[in-house]
Amino acid sequence: MTIDRRSFMAASVCAGLALPPLALPALAQTAVPQVPGGPLPPGLPQPFETIDLWPGGAPGMPATALTETVQERSTDRLVTDRAVYGISRPRMAVFRPDRPNGAAVLITPGGGYRWVVVDKEGYEMGRWLAARGFTAFVLFYRLPGEGWAAGPNVALADAQRAMRLIRHRARDFAIDPERVSAMGFSAGGHLCADLATRFDAKVYDPVDGADQLSAKPHSAAPIYPVIAMTAPDAHAGSRELLIGKTASPALEAAHSPHRNVPANAPPFFLLHAEDDDAVPVNNALLLRAALKARGIRVETHLFEHGGHGFGLRKAIGKPVEAWPDLWRAWARTTGLAL
């Protein structure tokens, strides 16, 4: 069956996202970015609810103030492709389902640590998940190359804090705090894997009661992830922005998730295309081998074709378009989706 762009967009829409903000509106929270230069496309529900991560402001502000900037990369006004950088107010955009199934997913979009690609690897997946009962949280995380005091750990600090806040507010969203998973794409896949392997790392000082909760995700799904920080497998752009061109071997190891797998890591779902010309497929294989060596559950799907950054929209018409349903079937085996 052939699926065109309009059919895909219609199938992606979750009716629950069009609800007015009746319950728990995110008062005084930072709004999500809009499309520069024009109205939002019709028919694509946009998140109205956000959660700021840091009530007193993000720690370790850069010496030079950042200006949040949105770059629209799409030339089709019906399909947005926003990339955001200069994020100084990290936050989550919330996608609530009509009928919550009790599970939540923290989504970390990609962007090579240069920016956060919120539509293609964030909102589209948020709509897909919400349509199937999952409460989705799309993370606008700080970027390590923008001068934050935490340096390479700044995005991980946001991801840890996000996981803890979701659990802290679980009752508000009708979710089980034990069933909060993580999913990330490309460099966001690195962040997802970093969170799932270094959830216990102390990368920020606690700010409130939420920080007493665990940051360990129930399960993790790094999709076409950046993993290695060493040649020949490292994605050069992500590596440079995360740890710098001249990073020491010790720094490379500290930020390569496959070299930091703990014995109590959560189950992993790995997905990659073998023709990925941006992030070599060996990144997923290195992580798989490390998880296997530790006896951690891992399901791995490799597709012959798909390239890089396919998300949902670029998977249409290819065998790789089956990946979200493969993840959902696997999620049931872990107890995430009951």
b/e sequence 72-101, b meaning 16+ C-beta within 10 Å? beeeeeebbbbbbbebbbbbbbbbbbeebb
CATH class of the 5-18+28-334 domain in this structure: alpha beta
Q: Mean pLDDT throughout 230-242?
A: 97
Instruction: Give yes or no for a contact between 90 and 54, defined as CB atoms under 8 angstroms apart.
Output: yes
pLDDT of residue 12: 43
Q: Please give the Cα distance from 214 to 192 (Å, whole number).
A: 15
Confidence of residue 104 (pLDDT cuts 50, 70, 90): very high
The 10s digit of each residue's pLDDT in 129-145 is 999 999 999 999 999 99
Is the pLDDT confidence value at 186 over 60? yes
Is the pLDDT confidence value at 49 over 90? yes
Instruction: Give yes or no for a contact between 49 and 96, defined as CB atoms under 8 angstroms apart.
Output: yes
Confidence of residue 271 (pLDDT cuts 50, 70, 90): very high
Query: Which CA distances in Å does 52 have to 162, 163, 183, 327?
Result: 9, 13, 19, 28
Of all residues in the chain, the percent with pLDDT exceeding 90 is: 81
Structure tokens at 328: 């959902």
Amino acid at 154: V
Q: Please give the Cα distance from 253 to 155 (Å, whole number).
A: 17
Q: Mean pLDDT throughout 100-122?
A: 97
The 10s digit of each residue's pLDDT in 300-318 is 999 999 999 999 999 999 9
Confidence of residue 261 (pLDDT cuts 50, 70, 90): very high
In terms of pLDDT, which residue wins out, 1 or 158? 158
Stretch among 33-42, 49-58, 68-77, 304-313 having the lowest mean pLDDT:
33-42
Mean predicted lDDT score pLDDT of the chain: 90
Q: Which residues contact 39 (CB under 8 A, 6 or more apart)?
A: none
Is the pLDDT confidence value at 244 over 90? yes
pLDDT of residue 88: 96
> What is the maximal distance between C-alpha atoms in the chain?
54
Confidence of residue 36 (pLDDT cuts 50, 70, 90): low
Q: Please give the Cα distance from 258 to 227 (Å, whole number).
A: 7
Is the pLDDT confidence value at 246 over 90? yes
Tell me the helix, strand and coil percentages in the chain, rounded to 5: 35, 15, 50
Q: Please give the Cα distance from 81 to 275 (Å, whole number).
A: 23
Q: Please tell me whether the peptide bond between 62 and the residue prior to it is cis, using omega within 30 degrees of 0.
A: no
Place of tokens 């804090």: 161
Confidence of residue 76 (pLDDT cuts 50, 70, 90): confident
The distance in angstroms from the start CA to the end CA of the chain is 29
pLDDT of residue 2: 40
Instruction: Give yes or no for a contact between 163 and 195, defined as CB atoms under 8 angstroms apart.
Output: yes
pLDDT of residue 78: 80
The 10s digit of each residue's pLDDT in 8-30 is 444 444 333 433 333 334 445 88
The 10s digit of each residue's pLDDT in 198-222 is 999 999 999 999 999 999 999 999 9
Provide Rg for the chain, Cα atoms: 18
Confidence of residue 154 (pLDDT cuts 50, 70, 90): very high
Pairing mode of beta strands 82-85, 180-185: unpaired
